[in-house]
Amino acid sequence: MEDLNFIPSDREVRLEPNQSLIFKFSNEYKLEYVNDFFTDFTGYEIHDVIGEGVEGMKHSDIPKLISSMLYESVENKKNINIILKNTTKDGRFYWFLTDFQYEIDEENKLLSFKYYRRFPSKSAIPTLEKLYKKLLDIENHASIEVAEKYLYGFLEEKNMSFSEYTAFLSKGEDFKSMVQKVETSQNLPAGKAGKKSWFRK
Amino acid sequence: MHPIDNEHLPTDVKQRIEEILAKHKITTDSIVNNPITNNFIDAKPSQSTTSSFVGKEIKLDPSKTIMSKTDKKGIIEYANEYFMETSGYEEYELMGQPHNIIRHPDMPKVIFKELWTRLNKGENIHALVKNLTKNGNYYWVLTSFETKYNEDGEIISHYARRKAAPGNAVYQVEKLYKTLLAIEKTQSVAVSERYFVGLLEEKGMNYDEFILDILGIDQNSIASYFINENDKTSTPKRRGVFGRLFSN
């Protein structure tokens, strides 16, 4: 298929509360599986992304700092629940809440991980949009390091992690119960957490 | 009237005008009859002889705190919403910049000298400070500082909280600052410092007692001044945030 002149549009597609995009990655961060809904929702074909990453779907409104926070969490095998924006194949955008689950062997080595993109609380988005704009402006006028210090001071003032701040803005029951579920599963012995929550889905 | 013959203009300003006129090849005669430049030419200095800056005062909301965080050298790392609202800057214009970007030219240097001497020792200082907004207006604050150290006991950041300065305190300190600034302009910061020390000696007070005296409050009241029920941000928290920044 021909590559159309890709211009992100300001049109939004919305994830519904019962919908999630599911990505499964190998320990080398290669995409091994995506659910069918991903295809329905984003317009990408499964073969467009399998074996690759999800880099190409990034939205230019998301500061580099925020993307790097996500990678850092994955590298540390930590869950992170933040709200991000991404593009569909035809250039529209959607907001989603990130959620990670790791499968780890007895020696704490990563076997694989799942990346869920879930329904985000609408109430959190306007505030996050403003924050992302500020961070992006700081990145462009100063540097990522300066933006990182700003975000650090911002969260420090609120005494929250970014996940906690996102939850605080969301105030949604769905989000709370979802995060609690994940936290419970993370407390299980290594190696079982991933599997247990896999069956629960 | 010839623009650079204005008796009220300082020599350096006259010199600068001559430079600009020469650069743009403008003859002085051609601007005398211009209504815009005439305003400038006829301008008389404002009543205050030390203030080179005329702006409007911005009244602060006493319930709000202006908060910022800098590294040990005073480079701004974070500033809260009320800081941005008051100063008129956008985040990208201030982050990574030295804090003296909002320093008002009416402020004597000796105050900041004392302030940084204290901060470098990790000590708090309550100072009455006139700050400059982006568009040239000003606001008066009362400061309070907190220093954060790393594991090796080195200073890594300063948290500055500022509240609206009481009007009567500003009135008193304004006169002193004018004197100090005039001494700094005609003599030096060292001389203005000696003057300030002499003044404190005469009053039999140290700096902190002097400030409390001007504010008309005691040590306990000034601490509670910076803790406000409606303002959670003024209460310092000491949980390990950095480790939790990227995780739950």
What is the predicted pLDDT for the residue at B19? 72
What is the predicted pLDDT for the residue at B20? 67
CA angle A149, A150, A151 (to 5 degrees): 95
* Residue B197 scores a pLDDT above 80: yes
Query: Are the C-beta atoms of B180 and B110 separated by less than 8 Å?
Result: yes
Across the interface, do A157 and B95 touch by the CB < 8 Å criterion? no
- Between the alpha carbon of residue B64 and those of residues A196, B59, B94, B227, the distances in Å are 48, 12, 20, 10
Q: What percent of chain A has pLDDT over 70?
A: 79
Give the strand pairing for B128-132 and B155-164. unpaired
What is the predicted pLDDT for the residue at B47? 44
Q: Which CATH architecture has domain B66-233?
A: 2-Layer Sandwich (3.30)
Q: Report, as an integer, the average pLDDT of A33-57.
A: 86
- CATH assignment of A21-120+173-200, among 2.60.40.10, 3.90.1150.10, 3.30.70.20, 3.30.450.20: 3.30.450.20
Q: Report, as an integer, the average pLDDT of A122-141.
A: 96
B246 touches chain A (CB under 8 A): yes
**A200 or B85: which carries more pLDDT confidence?**
B85
Compute and round to an integer the Cα radius of gyration of chain B.
Answer: 22
What is the predicted pLDDT for the residue at B48? 45
Q: What percent of chain A has pLDDT over 90?
A: 63
How far apart are alpha carbons B69 and B78 in whole angstroms?
5
Average per-residue pLDDT for chain B: 82
Nearest chain B residue to A159 by CA: give it: B241
Across the interface, do B237 and A159 touch by the CB < 8 Å criterion? yes
* Residue B1 scores a pLDDT above 70: no
- Quick one: pLDDT band at residue A7, thresholds 50, 70, 90? low
Q: Report, as an integer, the average pLDDT of A76-87.
A: 93
Complex confidence, ipTM: 0.70
pTM flag (> 0.90): no
What is the predicted pLDDT for the residue at A175? 54
What is the predicted pLDDT for the residue at B225? 82
Across the interface, do A143 and B248 touch by the CB < 8 Å criterion? no
Span A147-195, pLDDT tens digits: 999 999 999 999 999 999 999 998 755 555 555 544 444 433 333 333 3
Q: Report, as an integer, the average pLDDT of A51-65.
A: 82
Shortest Cα distance, chain B CAs vs residue A145, angstroms: 9
Across the interface, do A80 and B246 touch by the CB < 8 Å criterion? yes
Q: Report, as an integer, the average pLDDT of B68-97.
A: 97
Domain boundaries, chain A: 21-120+173-200
What is the predicted pLDDT for the residue at A48? 84
Residues of chain B with CATH 3.30.450.20: 66-233
CA angle B171, B175, B181 (to 5 degrees): 135
* Residue A116 scores a pLDDT above 90: yes
Q: Report, as an integer, the average pLDDT of A38-52.
A: 88
B238 touches chain A (CB under 8 A): no
Span B139-194, pLDDT tens digits: 999 999 999 999 999 999 999 999 999 999 999 999 999 999 999 999 999 999 99
Going by C-alpha positions, the residue among B136, B144, B151, B123 that lies closest to residue B243 is B151
* Residue A96 scores a pLDDT above 80: yes
Going by C-alpha positions, the residue among B121, B100, B101 that lies closest to residue B112 is B100
What is the predicted pLDDT for the residue at A192? 36
What is the predicted pLDDT for the residue at A185? 41
Shortest Cα distance, chain B CAs vs residue A141, angstroms: 6
* Residue B68 scores a pLDDT above 50: yes
Across the interface, do B93 and A141 touch by the CB < 8 Å criterion? yes
